[in-house]
Amino acid sequence: MQIALITDTHFGARSDNQAFDNFFREFYTNVFFPTLEKNNIKTIVHLGDIFDRRKYINFNTLKNCREYFFDELQRREIFMHLMVGNHDTFFKNTNAVNSPNLLLNSYDNIRCYAEPFELKGLKSDILLMPWICAENFQQCMDVIKNTQAPTLFGHLEISGFVMHRGQECEGGFDPAIFSKFKRVFSGHFHHRSTKGNITYLGNPYELTWNDYDDPRGFHVYDTRSHELEFVENPYRMFHRIVYDDRKPPDPLDLNIMQERMIKLVVANKTDFSAFDTFVDRLYAADPLELKIIEDFSEFEAEALDEENLNLEDTMTLLSQYVDSIETEADKDRLKSLLKTLYVEAQDYAE
């Protein structure tokens, strides 16, 4: 039996920004539901954090996600099992007050789980494990110890897994707690990763610059064979463009820039008129945000006093390192790339 696994949808993310909500709608309308229809999938398991805010819901956000997600589930007669995630709970120490139970109780095709539950009837037993908090900790540990289900779906914080690229979880549960299961699938961390029997599924779409160029989507899971298929979301919210007028520019598709977050990193600019024309074209595409990063002045070669080099200067050290290594690569090109990445990192924001 094939079911769909999705997690961390975060309806209302980015302060209920309408452009992000339109971005979500694109994914569900053009990717998610067509895939379910093509594969005749009638069951979804959502692994938590269906809403973004723990304390309240924006009415326009609720109206919109009802239209393109919850109402579509009902219209297509798709049943959804939904675990409560940490963003779905009002209090941090209990799951008792949670947004899914309060906001989705009018849908008879959605069942919410605030406590552990063993799901049967899907060809293989599955333990559903919502957010583990102070109140339910012992209950959850006892259920994990005693269950015979070979598979666990949860909203878990497990040590050693990447939360987003470049940042690994140092706290959380020891992975050994879940070693008895054949497969463990979890929400919570937005980066897709697998270690041993544990897989973090990742969220369906980019929400911050941390997600840039990190594939997003959802999964189709076969409960009989335990095979997992990733269905990638082709839509991107964040686009990074490197401007360098010393070489021919890459093709620029302005159609995908509307209501998107654009970061323009200026590696080299000698023709100011051409640069202004390029920027005008980007603005004409009506992006949600256009951020231009171009301050390289402190790294220009002529600005460096070799007699008084600051050994703590990151770019100087990187440049010296490139000069010292033996490589067939173009060292000037490598230095330029490192400079571009360093300046962008200096300006990096969530």
**Tell me: the pLDDT tens digits for 168-214?**
998 999 999 999 999 999 999 999 999 999 999 999 999 999 899 99
Q: Determine the average pLDDT of the residues in 90-115.
A: 97
**Cα 238 from chain centre:** 12
For 89: left if phi > 0, alpha if psi spans -120 to 50, otherwise beta; the answer is: beta
How confident is the model at residue 251, as a pLDDT?
83
How confident is the model at residue 304, as a pLDDT?
45
Per-residue pLDDT reduced to its tens digit, 311-332: 445 666 777 778 877 777 888 8
Burial (CB count <10 Å: 0-12, 13-18, 19+), residue 186:
buried
Per-residue pLDDT reduced to its tens digit, 32-81: 999 999 999 999 999 999 999 999 999 999 999 999 999 999 999 999 99
How confident is the model at residue 332, as a pLDDT?
82
How confident is the model at residue 343, as a pLDDT?
65
Beta bridge partners of 186: 154, 200
Per-residue pLDDT reduced to its tens digit, 41-50: 999 999 999 9
Q: How many helices (DSSP H) and strands (DSSP E) are in the chain?
A: 10, 17
Torsion over CA: 288, 235, 267, 337 (sign): positive
